[in-house]
C-alpha cells in the first residue's frame, strides 16, 4: 500500500463519467480514491452510499471522489444509477491501478478495500485500509488546506 508522503501515481482509465486522467487534477484539487472489491455487495454499497450522502462535505474541499474496482463500465453504470452515485466509478479491468497503489488482493474475493486522499500537489496525505468513516476522510482533506 502506498504510504503517506509518496507522490500519487497518475493513471488514465474509463469511468461512468468518461475517461479519467488523474494527473490532470494534480496542482488543481484534492482527490479521494476509494478502492472497493465489487459492485452490488452489501458492504461496498453501504460504503459508496455514505460517500453519496456526504457529497456536500467533499464539495467543501472541491475534492474529486473516484470509486475504483475491476468491474466493467456497464456494471458500474447500473450500480451508479441504482443508488444515485454522482461521482465517477472507474473500471480497473486489468487491475493496473490497484497495482500502482499497492492495494493488494484477497484470493477469490478481489481487491482489498482502501482509501487514499491525495492533496492538490499530488501527494498522498492519507492511506488506510477498510471502510473508512467520512469524518476521518474529511479531516484528511482539512489537513490538506493547512
**Nearest CA-CA partner of 67 in 83, 81, 47:** 47
Sequence ranges of the domains in the chain? 37-143
Q: Is 49 a catalytic residue?
A: no
Phi, psi of 72 (to 5 degrees): -75, 165
- List the catalytic residue out of 31, 44, 65, 66: 44
Look at the pTM and tell me if it is higher than 0.85. Answer: yes
List per-residue pLDDT tens for the chain, 146 residues long.
999 999 999 999 999 999 999 999 999 999 999 999 999 999 999 999 999 999 999 999 999 999 999 999 999 999 999 999 999 999 999 999 999 999 988 876 778 999 999 999 999 999 999 999 999 999 999 987 76
Query: Position of cell 474509463?
Result: 14
Phi, psi of 62 (to 5 degrees): 55, 35
Contact criterion met (CB below 8 Å) for 66 and 15? yes
Contact criterion met (CB below 8 Å) for 16 and 88? yes
**Considering the domain 37-143 in this protein, what is its CATH number?**
3.40.30.10
Amino acid at each position: 500500500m502506498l504510504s503517506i508522503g509518496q507522490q500519487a501515481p497518475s493513471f488514465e482509465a474509463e469511468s461512468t463519467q468518461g475517461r479519467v486522467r488523474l494527473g490532470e487534477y494534480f496542482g488543481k484539487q484534492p482527490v479521494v480514491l476509494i478502492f472497493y472489491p465489487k459492485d452490488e455487495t452489501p458492504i461496498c454499497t453501504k460504503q459508496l452510499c455514505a460517500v453519496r450522502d456526504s457529497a456536500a462535505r467533499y464539495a467543501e474541499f472541491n475534492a474529486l471522489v473516484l470509486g475504483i474496482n475491476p468491474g466493467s463500465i456497464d456494471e458500474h453504470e447500473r450500480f451508479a444509477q441504482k443508488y444515485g452515485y454522482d461521482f465517477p466509478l472507474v473500471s480497473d479491468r486489468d487491475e493496473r491501478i490497484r497495482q500502482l497503489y499497492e492495494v493488494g488482493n484477497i484470493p477469490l474475493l478481489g481487491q482489498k478495500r482502501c482509501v487514499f486522499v491525495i492533496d492538490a500537489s499530488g501527494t498522498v496525505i492519507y492511506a488506510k485500509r477498510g471502510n473508512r468513516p467520512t469524518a476521518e476522510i474529511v479531516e484528511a482533506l482539512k489537513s490538506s488546506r493547512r
